[in-house]
Amino acid sequence: GDSVTQMEGPVTLSEEAFLTINCTYTATGYPSLFWYVQYPGEGLQLLLKATKADDKGSNKGFEATYRKETTSFHLEKGSVQVSDSAVYFCALNDPQKLTFGTGTRLTIIP
């Protein structure tokens, strides 16, 4: 079945550091890929998505590129802020069931 493997957390970085959260997937079809974010005390919300190979999703300074050859969708940000502290979930949709990774807790220190 479909699966998503995420970088184990927690991750702690200093403000303005470069962030990478790794995500790889296994799917039989041609999934769409998503990153969801859960800020403290809030519900899950979509951060960005990519619907086909080589697409790049971006939002709030975060980026992720759909790499079919490596079955990856790594999340990156060039300079993190304290307000980016949250739990990040990688997910795939192929084509109906939405499968999530285990989540990565990110803490940014001023």
Partner 1 sequence: GAGVSQSPSNKVTEKGKDVELRCDPISGHTALYWYRQSLGQGLEFLIYFQGNSAPDKSGLPSDRFSAERTGGSVSTLTIQRTQQEDSAVYLCASRLGRGAVTEAFFGQGTRLTVV
> Where on the chain is the footprint of partner 1 (CB under 8 A)?
30-32, 34, 36, 42-46, 49, 51, 89, 93-103
Backbone conformation region of residue 68, classed left if phi is above 0, alpha if psi is from -120 to 50, else beta: alpha
Min dist. Cβ of residue 36 to partner 1 (A)? 8
If the CB atoms of residues 17 and 55 are measured against partner 1, the closer one turns out to be 55
How far is the CA of 59 from the CAs of 12, 37, 81, in angstroms? 21, 12, 14
Min dist. Cβ of residue 16 to partner 1 (A)? 28
Min dist. Cβ of residue 94 to partner 1 (A)? 6
